[in-house]
Chain A
Amino acid sequence: MSANPKSLAAYDAERVRRDFPILAREVHGKPLVFLDSAASSQRPASVIEAVDAYERLHHANVHRGVHQLSQEATAMFEQARERVRRFVNAASTREVIFTRGTTESINLVAQSYARPRLKPGDEILLTALEHHANIVPWQLVAGQTGAKVRAVPMDARGVVSVDDVASHLNDRTRIVAFAQVSNALGTVLPVREITRLAHARGAVVLIDGAQAVPHQAVDLAELDCDFYAFSAHKMYGPTGIGVLVGRESLLEAMPPWQGGGDMILTVSFEKTTFNELPFKFEAGTPNISGAIGLGAAIDYIDSLGIDNIHAHEQRLLQVATEKLRRVPGLTIIGTAPDKAAVISFTLDGIHPHDLGTILDAEGVAVRTGHHCAMPVMEFFNVPATARASFACYSRESDIDALVRALGKAREVFS
Chain B
Amino acid sequence: MDLNDLYREVILDHNKSPRLFGRLEPADSAADGHNPLCGDRLHVTVRLEGDRVSDLRFDGKGCAISVASASLMCEAVKGKSRADIAHLFDEIHTVLTHHDAPVPEDLGKLAALSGVREFPVRVKCASLCWHTLNAALDHSASTVKTE
A contacts, CB < 8 Å to B: 28, 350-354, 357-358, 361, 368-370, 377, 383-384, 412-413
Mask, B96-110, CB within 8 Å of A = 1, is: 000000000000000
Q: Is the CB of A361 within 8 A of B1?
A: yes
A370, B35: Cα distance in complex, Å: 11
Task: Say yes or no: A369-B12 contact (C-beta < 8 A), given A357-B119, A357-B122, A358-B3.
Answer: no
Q: Is the CB of B119 within 8 A of A413?
A: no
Give the nearest-CB partner of B38 in chain A: A353
A413, B38: Cα distance in complex, Å: 19
Q: Is the CB of B64 within 8 A of A369?
A: no
The reply on B125 being an interface residue by CB < 8 A is yes
A413, B39: Cα distance in complex, Å: 20
Counting chain B CB atoms within 10 Å of each CB, the highest count among A358, A377, A384 belongs to A384
- A370: B residues at CB distance < 8 A: 36, 39
Q: Contact check: which of A350, A352, A361 meets B38 at CB < 8 Å?
A: A352
Which 4 pairs between the two chains have the least Cβ-Cβ distance?
A: A383-B39, A351-B63, A353-B63, A353-B38
Task: Say yes or no: A353-B12 contact (C-beta < 8 A), given A361-B3, A369-B37.
Answer: no
Q: Is the CB of A377 within 8 A of B39?
A: yes
The reply on B59 being an interface residue by CB < 8 A is no
A351, B125: Cα distance in complex, Å: 12
Nearest CB in chain A: distance from B125 CB, A: 7
Q: Is the CB of A412 within 8 A of B41?
A: no
B contacts, CB < 8 Å to A: 1, 3, 6-7, 12, 36-41, 61-65, 119, 121-122, 125
Give the nearest-CB partner of A382 in chain B: B39
Number of A-B contacts (CB under 8 A): 48
- A383: B residues at CB distance < 8 A: 38-41, 61-62
Nearest CB in chain A: distance from B2 CB, A: 8
Counting chain A CB atoms within 10 Å of each CB, the highest count among B1, B3, B6, B125 belongs to B3
Q: Is the CB of A412 within 8 A of B7?
A: yes
Counting chain B CB atoms within 10 Å of each CB, the highest count among A352, A353, A370 belongs to A353
A357, B121: Cα distance in complex, Å: 9
Nearest CB in chain A: distance from B11 CB, A: 10
Give the nearest-CB partner of A351 in chain B: B63
Q: Contact check: which of B36, B41, B125 meets A353 at CB < 8 Å?
A: B125
A28, B7: Cα distance in complex, Å: 17
Q: Is the CB of A351 within 8 A of B1?
A: no
A182, B57: Cα distance in complex, Å: 39
Nearest CB in chain B: distance from A315 CB, A: 32
Nearest CB in chain B: distance from A383 CB, A: 3
A140, B123: Cα distance in complex, Å: 33
Nearest CB in chain B: distance from A376 CB, A: 12
A357, B125: Cα distance in complex, Å: 12
Q: Is the CB of A351 within 8 A of B3?
A: no
Interface pairs (23), CB distance under 8 Å: A351-B63, A352-B38, A352-B63, A353-B38, A353-B122, A354-B7, A354-B63, A357-B3, A357-B6, A357-B122, A369-B37, A369-B38, A369-B39, A377-B39, A383-B38, A383-B41, A383-B61, A383-B62, A384-B38, A412-B3, A412-B7, A413-B12, A413-B64
Nearest CB in chain B: distance from A243 CB, A: 29
Give the nearest-CB partner of B2 in chain A: A361
- A352: B residues at CB distance < 8 A: 38, 63
- A357: B residues at CB distance < 8 A: 3, 6, 119, 121-122
Task: Say yes or no: A351-B37 contact (C-beta < 8 A), given A28-B1, A358-B3.
Answer: no
A352, B37: Cα distance in complex, Å: 11
Given contacts A351-B62, A353-B122, A383-B40, 17 further A-B contacts (CB under 8 A): A350-B64, A351-B38, A352-B38, A353-B38, A353-B40, A353-B63, A353-B65, A353-B125, A354-B64, A357-B6, A357-B119, A357-B122, A361-B1, A383-B41, A412-B3, A412-B12, A413-B64
- B39: A residues at CB distance < 8 A: 369-370, 377, 383-384
A350, B62: Cα distance in complex, Å: 10
Q: Is the CB of B1 within 8 A of A368?
A: no
Nearest CB in chain B: distance from A132 CB, A: 11
Give the nearest-CB partner of A362 in chain B: B3
- A353: B residues at CB distance < 8 A: 38, 40, 63, 65, 122, 125
- B62: A residues at CB distance < 8 A: 351, 383
Nearest CB in chain B: distance from A223 CB, A: 34
- B37: A residues at CB distance < 8 A: 369
A384, B122: Cα distance in complex, Å: 15
Give the nearest-CB partner of B6 in chain A: A357
- B125: A residues at CB distance < 8 A: 353
Q: Is the CB of A351 within 8 A of B41?
A: no
Q: Is the CB of B1 within 8 A of A354?
A: no
- B40: A residues at CB distance < 8 A: 353, 383
- B61: A residues at CB distance < 8 A: 383
Q: Is the CB of A368 within 8 A of B38?
A: yes
A377, B41: Cα distance in complex, Å: 14
- A350: B residues at CB distance < 8 A: 64
Nearest CB in chain B: distance from A30 CB, A: 11
